[in-house]
Structure 1
Amino acid sequence: MKLEFALTRLSANAEVLAILIRNATPEQARWKPSPEEWSILEVTCHLYDEEREDFRTRVRLTLTDPAADWPPIDPVGWVTARNYNAQDPAERLEAFLAERRASLEWLQGLENPNWASKKTHPRLGSATAGEMLTAWVAHDHLHIRQLNHLHWQWLAKHEPPFPLDYAGGW
């Protein structure tokens, strides 16, 4: 992936994510379609943590010190350990957006990054910095899809008696 394309996508994705998150009421932000699924707020907190503790950190380490251990992460465990659904939705969104701006500034400041630089992880195998950058962009798209689905599920559950059949199936 070319850096310019990644910068454009990461920036645009942040705008899309912000719209999807901001347009949820506090009740909707905390609502979960089932106990196993995440709420909009939990997705928001996850994006914030992943921005700081996963993608930017791991891309940086892969570029600058591929032999260094990556810090451990536990995205699924953090949902409960960090009490995501009790957080303030607006504060978490602004925190994520601030971290994304920091990521974009850092990426823009890179001089001749070696995207082929490779990290070998004992459990996950090897990944290049370029693969990690591409995964970062893809991660955004997965959560954009997830947030859209959460909005659709909310509409289906909370707006009866009007069915959504005419719109088409999810």
Structure 2
Amino acid sequence: MTFKIDQAIDLLERTPEVLKAMLSGLSNDWTRANEGGDSWSPFDVVGHLVHGERTDWIPRTYIIMNDSDQKTFHPYDRFAQFEESKGKSLEDLLEEFESLRRSNLEQLNGFGLTESDLQRVGIHPSLGPVTLLNLLSAWVVHDQGHIAQISRVLAKQYKDEVGPWTKYMTILKYSPKE
């Protein structure tokens, strides 16, 4: 499939609803559990998505789209959610994510992006030159990866309980490499 902005938005606008359907109203036993070690819980993932909405996708789009010679992105703190989510409930984070995503997609639509805009370049601090097409595609894939991650974390809470079916449950065989 070739990238199309309207198709990207189709997925991006659904992520808050998907997460609410998956997580809203669940106990902390579900939402604060992880896969062991330094892996992330669903709560951590939603906090990470909130932080990204504030500091990553649209701010970097503005950097790419501006006429300044300064095109280098600010480094993204992939672990900021651990501090920023303190004192918040999962419901707070889900609502904040939904609000920020709605606002960000309004801003994205406001750019009126053209095919040539998608080829504009910004500088990622570790990846080097990236196009707006790369950034927006990564946004979509990033969402889908974290939805899969949350599903995997939830599934793994019953890893031992499924008994012999474990060999058929491919979701239980993945090991996180945060």
TM-score by length of 2: 0.81
Deviation at 1:29, TM superposition (A): 1.1
Equivalent residues, number = 165
Distance (whole Å) between structure 2 residues aligned to residue 27 and residue 83 of structure 1: 21
| Equivalent residues of 1:66, 1:117 under 8 A apart | no
Q: 2:23 aligns with which of 3, 21, 24?
A: 21
Unaligned residue ranges in structure 2 (runs of 5+): 172-178
| Equivalent residues of 2:73, 2:122 under 8 A apart | no
1 or 2, which has the higher helix percentage? 1
Distance (whole Å) between structure 2 residues aligned to residue 135 and residue 17 of structure 1: 19
Distance (whole Å) between structure 2 residues aligned to residue 27 and residue 65 of structure 1: 49
Match of 2:105 in 1: 104
Match of 1:141 in 2: 144
Q: What SS does the corresponding residue of 2:157 show, helix, strand or coil?
A: helix
Distance (whole Å) between structure 2 residues aligned to residue 85 and residue 153 of structure 1: 25
| Equivalent residues of 2:51, 2:81 under 8 A apart | no
Q: What SS does the corresponding residue of 2:62 show, helix, strand or coil?
A: helix
Instruction: Tell me, yes or no, if structure 1 residue 163 matches structure 2 residue 166.
Output: no
Deviation at 1:79, TM superposition (A): 4.1
C-alpha distance after superposition, 1:80-136 (max 9, x if no partner): 4x1646531100111011111011111122224411111133532110111100000
Q: Partner letter of residue 4 of structure 1?
A: D
TM-score by length of 1: 0.85
| Cα gap change, 1:165 to 1:65, in 2 (>3 Å) | farther
Match of 1:74 in 2: 77
Distance (whole Å) between structure 2 residues aligned to residue 95 and residue 87 of structure 1: 10
